[in-house]
Chain A
Amino acid sequence: MIWRIAMRNLIQHRTKTIIIGSLVALGIMLTLIGNCLITTMGSGITKSFTDNFTGEILVTASGAKAGVFGAQSDEMFGPPVISVLKDYDAALAKVKALPGLKSWTPQLSGYAVFNFEEKGSDFSLLFGIDPADYFKSMDNVNIISGRRLAPGEEGMMLNRKMQDSLKKSMSVNLKVGDTIQLNSFGDAGFKIREVPIVAIFEFKAANQRIFTPSFVDSTTLRVLLGKNVGPTEKVQVSKEATALIDANPDSLFGDDTTAAAQTVSGSGKVLTEQGLKTMLGGKVAASVPPPGGGAWNFILVRLNPGVKAEPLIKELNREFEKDGIKANAQGWQISGSPDSYTFAALGLIFNIAMILLAVVSIIIIMNTLVISVMERTSEIGTMRALGAQKMLVRKMFIAETLSVTVLFGLVGIVLGAIVVAILNVVGLPADSDFLAVIFGGKILKPVVSLKPLLTSMGLILLIGSVSWIYPVALALKVSPLKAITTD
């Protein structure tokens, strides 16, 4: 009976019902569309960063403020300083024990000057990688010309955007096979390296607005940054080698001594002349980078599809803290700034708009119901006079409010889903780099997913559950006496 009365009242006052309902439907429709856009953008921007730059989990040095691009560094002048992950081996052991782990790869990040002598120079970000591991984990590049770096090879994969930029600014037309001189000046002094260009590439992600990193082998970048290039384990030095300590310094520069140095060994690894020069930042190429050793800034962790990163990040950090490992696990956001902040701000603005929309809807529905209570004072009084308890009056108004909000809310969801489906087919093109970042790609194809649907339904329930409170409080004050005193 309550629902019958509620529905018939809504039909009887159909103009009012349609006005309220249209507002609810419009609000829910806009909320769903907005939520779907935001969710799709969120997935896009997350995927573009995790697939292309950071992995699902990024392990950094404890307290490190810089991501793979060096953003968020405290350095006011000069290139950002990215902390070395000193407890790399211990952190890696914890990473390897992660459930849902697909793969991992270490990475160095740093800035170097591309020096073209009299033509000029430019400053650029470099990713120092171990190509064997890196490209297994990060399938993130399209090779335009050349090939990927080979394991143990010294060389550079040049970002096409950097290539274009150099061509425009200095008329330097770099191509595969050319060599490039890289300079760096820091705490470890002035460093010079010369490496061949093995590829021109671009990142698969459209998000290349700010960062134009190129790849170099990790040994080259270590040398440029003045980081430890050798294994960190204890070295057993032979008697022949220690005998050099007592030798005449002048004799060290003789041919015999060089021959003696070539026999120095530690942990089964031969310390060659070439390796020594590499350590010192000489111009001689290092043919074999240290296997797994040396300084790294990051471990990029890839997870199996469907594995959620957040609980594993927490788990990793608990493990690091428990064992005193000076490392920190985090999501892509630290590397993704300022894009991640732009996106977060967009989400915040949208959420505020959604709250305002809900408040406006509630106020309008509330006002309309208050008018309805005033118009129906006699009816409510009559019901009370005939023996209806206050609960029945309450239920009647709740039924009316819920009917309007749920019915028209569902209409809003259906309309919203249709609009999203159309947008999915048509696609929203990113006309600018900014939009490409926000969209997480060159074209946004929003999809209706569970979260926006649940949010919209939650909003419907919120509006339906709140907007009756004040009108019902008024209705409950209606005395049965009003049945007699009101026409």
Chain B
Amino acid sequence: MSIINLSQVKKHYSLGKTTVEAVRGVDLTIEKGDFISIAGPSGSGKSTILNMIGLIDTPTEGEVTIAGENIGKLDDTGLTRLRHEAIGFIFQSFNLIPVLNTRENIEFPLLLGKNGKITAEKRDWIDFLIEEVGLGDRVKNKPNELSGGQRQRVAIARALVTKPMIVLADEPTANLDSNTGEAILELMKKINKDSGTTFIFSTHDHKVVQIADHVVRLLDGLIVEDSRRN
């Protein structure tokens, strides 16, 4: 079942008097439960596509459909609501809120939106995620008291806390050493298998590409490979 559809998507940026074509007509379908890697060199358009899928950027032309909703027809409030309900983010630089501790950072997305209260059920789910990412002894620590790997684990738990259909990870291992990076990837793969959550990576880390079961390669804003592995 497809969860994301990109149809003839183009994205142009103005750079002074010139226009940069970051994405030049991309068609892409992502299925529910995919563990997909969008790979390519710098400037190939992978981050732009990830931003459009993550509803933080809109296409210049073409159509992007997320969970059945055409994002071109949504205003800022609608995009924010859909982003909150359907998508979790893991950033290259972790992007934790500096003044909140591990537990508070993880529960933060649950406080947004209409049902912003932390119920017992939600509390149990947070506890489960904290244990799952191995941070049971770091719940009170602030981001500046955690290692890079620990911060990324917090980011993973935060991305999953709203039980989103899609988790977007932008270069999730770029700021981690290789061992920690591998551990993080294995953790995400395990969650993908256990929960059926769709994981989409933007990366040029070959280890991420190796572990993915759906690989999309980009070059100069166009898809040059779209392959699936069994």
Which residues of A come within 8 Å of B, CB atoms?
1, 4-5, 8-9, 11-12, 378-379, 381-390, 392, 479-481, 483-484, 487
Contacts and interface: CB of A to CB of B under 8 A. Distances in A.
B113 interface: yes
B179 interface: no
23 contacts: A1-B104, A1-B108, A4-B104, A5-B99, A5-B100, A9-B99, A11-B99, A378-B95, A379-B95, A382-B91, A382-B95, A382-B97, A384-B56, A385-B95, A386-B84, A387-B81, A389-B80, A389-B112, A390-B80, A481-B51, A481-B56, A483-B56, A483-B91
A78 to B, nearest CB: 78
Given A387-B81, A389-B80, A484 B51 contact: yes
A5 B109 CA distance: 14
| Most chain B CB within a 10 A radius of its CB, from A379, A390, A484 | A484
Contact of A387 (B57, B84, B91): B84
Contacts of A390: 76, 80
A449 to B, nearest CB: 41
A373 to B, nearest CB: 15
B37 interface: no
| Most chain B CB within a 10 A radius of its CB, from A9, A11, A383, A386 | A386
B91 to A, nearest CB: 6
Nearest to B50: A484
B80 A387 contact: yes
B93 interface: yes
Interface in B47-94: 47, 51, 54, 56-57, 76-77, 80-81, 83-85, 89, 91-93
A18 to B, nearest CB: 17
Given A385-B56, A483-B89, A484-B91, A12 B99 contact: yes
Given A481-B51, A484-B51, A387 B112 contact: yes
Given A386-B158, A479-B56, A5 B81 contact: no
Contacts of B113: 387
B97 A383 contact: yes
Contacts of A389: 77, 80-81, 112
B98 interface: yes
B54 A385 contact: yes
Given A5-B97, A390-B80, A479-B56, 12 more contacts: A5-B99, A12-B99, A379-B98, A385-B54, A385-B89, A386-B84, A387-B80, A388-B112, A389-B77, A481-B51, A483-B56, A483-B95
B13 to A, nearest CB: 12
Contacts of A9: 99
Contact of A484 (B47, B77, B108): B47
B170 interface: yes
B111 interface: yes
A487 B93 contact: yes
Contacts of A383: 97, 108
Contact of B56 (A4, A8, A379, A484): A484
Contacts of B47: 484
Interface string B200-213: 00000000000000
A386 B56 contact: no
A385 B87 CA distance: 9
Interface of B: 47, 51, 54, 56-57, 76-77, 80-81, 83-85, 89, 91-93, 95, 97-100, 104, 108-109, 111-113, 158, 162, 170
A480 B100 contact: no
Nearest to B101: A8
Contact of A1 (B77, B81, B111): B111
The 10 closest A-B CB pairs, nearest first, are A387-B84, A8-B99, A480-B56, A382-B95, A387-B112, A1-B111, A386-B109, A481-B56, A388-B112, A487-B93
A385 B85 CA distance: 11
Nearest to B202: A484
B137 to A, nearest CB: 22
A70 B96 CA distance: 76
Contact of B80 (A4, A5, A11, A384): A384
B200 to A, nearest CB: 14
Nearest to A10: B99
A395 to B, nearest CB: 12
Contacts of A384: 56, 80
Contacts of A387: 80-81, 83-85, 109, 112-113, 162
B161 to A, nearest CB: 10
A385 B92 CA distance: 14
Contact of A392 (B51, B81, B112): B112
Contacts of B76: 390
A158 B162 CA distance: 91
A388 B99 contact: no
A379 B111 CA distance: 16
Nearest to A383: B97
Contacts of A388: 80, 84, 112
Nearest to A388: B112
Contacts of A487: 93
Given A387-B109, A387-B112, A481 B57 contact: yes
Nearest to A390: B76
Contacts of A479: 56
Contacts of A480: 56, 83
Contact of A379 (B51, B54, B83, B97): B97
B115 to A, nearest CB: 12
A12 B100 CA distance: 11
A383 B108 CA distance: 9
A298 B222 CA distance: 97
A331 to B, nearest CB: 56
Contacts of B111: 1
B143 to A, nearest CB: 11
B183 to A, nearest CB: 23
Contacts of A8: 99-100
B97 A12 contact: no
Contacts of B51: 481, 484
A483 B96 CA distance: 10
A12 B98 contact: yes
B98 A386 contact: no
B175 to A, nearest CB: 10
Nearest to A387: B84
Nearest to A476: B76
Contacts of A11: 99
| Most chain B CB within a 10 A radius of its CB, from A8, A378, A387 | A387
A153 to B, nearest CB: 84
